[in-house]
Amino acid sequence: MNIFNKRQFLIANIGFNFHEIAVKENISDFEAAKLLILEAKKSGVDAVKFYISSSENSYVADDFEISNPQLLLNKYDIFNKEDYKQLADFCLMNDILFLVMPFDFESVDYSCIFSDAFCLSSADLTNTPFIKYVASKNKPIILYTGGATLGEIKNAIKIIEDESTVDIILMHSVLSFPTDYLDTNLLMIKDLLENFPDYKIGYCDHTKTDGNMLILTIAASYGADIIEKNFTIDKSIKTNAHSYSMNPDDVLLFRANIAFLSKINGMKNKHPLICESSSIRQTRRSIMAKKDIKKGEIITEDNIAFKWPGYGISPNNLNEILGRKINCNVSKDTILDFKMFE
């Protein structure tokens, strides 16, 4: 059963944002994580995501610039297995899904017990052994496609499907933190939809939040059924990912946008609407007498005109009356009716 059926399904990436919130609020990291979960739930979020690494094998170099928040694992991933289990239980109690992005085999092993789905980082899109191992746990997989070619995405999907029958979600994302608006490339959502029609498509956003939540709203309008963005309760915090996170007010605005979008999108198949009925009759044209027509006269294009309203014979049916005799006297501007003909 696909757990991402709601449209639009919204994921709050808590990541390591809890640490700065803990410092600001003078509470523990664990309590800050719970606070963010509650605020996300109250504002209308469907799932929260945490990064999980249980060892120091994510990277070996320590002299490169850390611009990707996922690379802060060794600094901020201070929760143990029991902590994550309690956070998952807390989410279950508050009716919000608990998603994890694991970065090593050990964290996959223990988090599969309580996670609702696995998130596979764009960084692991070519990590064949890891993808295969994650797929073996038979949990839904959200596959991020930042920096990927279509061929790499297809290969990752094949690895998963050779190992399991789990649901796969493909997320358009950009490996730039924060992502410049000019690099967002939301049209890639449509490209994923065209190339992978059998899979749900989503969008993971790393841009600085625009005031109207237009980026996420447009992503949804382009076909992204799953939307993800970093989440905080204080965007003024300068460190980590707070500056390009959404807050509860942003979530509420996005939900309002989606509700409005649903209203204006309406139905796909083109057909006359009930609200158009009166206007159709008033503004379409009818065949009328261009001048007085006497009984027995033949209808020609010289004695008829096409005028509002559209209550009578449509100009589409002109050939059905041309050359026929009128059976009564008709005054100028009278709307013609089939009953008037012999």
306 and 180, same structural domain?
A: no
The model's pLDDT over 139-185, given as tens digits with 9 standing for 90+, comes to: 999 999 999 999 999 999 999 999 999 999 999 999 999 999 999 99
The model's pLDDT over 235-256, given as tens digits with 9 standing for 90+, comes to: 999 876 898 999 999 999 999 9
Domain count, the chain: 2
pTM across the whole model: 0.88
242 and 287, same structural domain?
A: no
Predicted confidence at residue 65, as pLDDT, reads: 47
Q: What is the rounded CA–CA span in Å between residue 176 and residue 167? A: 27
The model's pLDDT over 108-117, given as tens digits with 9 standing for 90+, comes to: 999 999 999 9
Q: What is the rounded CA–CA span in Å between residue 274 and residue 279? A: 10
Strands 226-230 and 117-120, by their bridges, are unpaired
186 and 233, same structural domain?
A: yes
DSSP 138: -
CA proximity to 99, closest of 197, 204, 25, 206: 204
250 and 335, same structural domain?
A: no
**Does 5 score more than 90 pLDDT?**
no
Sequence-separated (6 or more) residues with CB below 8 Å from residue 71: 58, 59
Predicted confidence at residue 194, as pLDDT, reads: 98
260 and 290, same structural domain?
A: no
Last residue of a domain, which of 265, 295, 315?
265
Residue whose structure tokens are 């029609």: 197
Q: What is the rounded CA–CA span in Å between residue 254 and residue 223? A: 15
Distances (CA, A) of 310 to 277, 281, 284, 325: 11, 5, 5, 22
| Strand ranges for 110-214 from DSSP E | 117-120, 141-144, 168-172, 200-205
Share of the chain above pLDDT 70, in %: 93
Predicted confidence at residue 63, as pLDDT, reads: 45
Inside any domain, residue 1: no
Give the chain's mean pLDDT. 92
Q: What is the rounded CA–CA span in Å between residue 45 and residue 22? A: 21
For the segment 213-220, the average pLDDT, to the nearest whole number, is 97
Q: What is the rounded CA–CA span in Å between residue 23 and residue 32? A: 9
The model's pLDDT over 284-327, given as tens digits with 9 standing for 90+, comes to: 999 999 999 999 999 999 999 999 999 999 999 999 999 999 99
Last residue of a domain, which of 223, 248, 265?
265
246 and 332, same structural domain?
A: no
304 and 259, same structural domain?
A: no
CA proximity to 203, closest of 225, 221, 183, 182: 225
Last residue of a domain, which of 235, 265, 295?
265
Distances (CA, A) of 103 to 62, 79, 275: 17, 14, 55
For the segment 195-210, the average pLDDT, to the nearest whole number, is 96
Sequence-separated (6 or more) residues with CB below 8 Å from residue 54: 81, 104, 106, 107, 110
Task: Give the domain range for residue 151.
Answer: 9-265
The model's pLDDT over 259-292, given as tens digits with 9 standing for 90+, comes to: 999 999 988 899 999 999 999 999 999 999 999 9
pLDDT-derived band at 102 (thresholds 50, 70, 90) equals very high
Q: Provide the residue type at 149 as one letter.
A: T
The model's pLDDT over 18-64, given as tens digits with 9 standing for 90+, comes to: 999 999 999 999 999 999 999 999 999 999 999 998 755 555 445 44
* ∠ CA 97-102-108, rounded to 5°: 90
Q: What is the rounded CA–CA span in Å between residue 230 and residue 294? A: 79
Predicted confidence at residue 73, as pLDDT, reads: 53
Inside any domain, residue 3: no
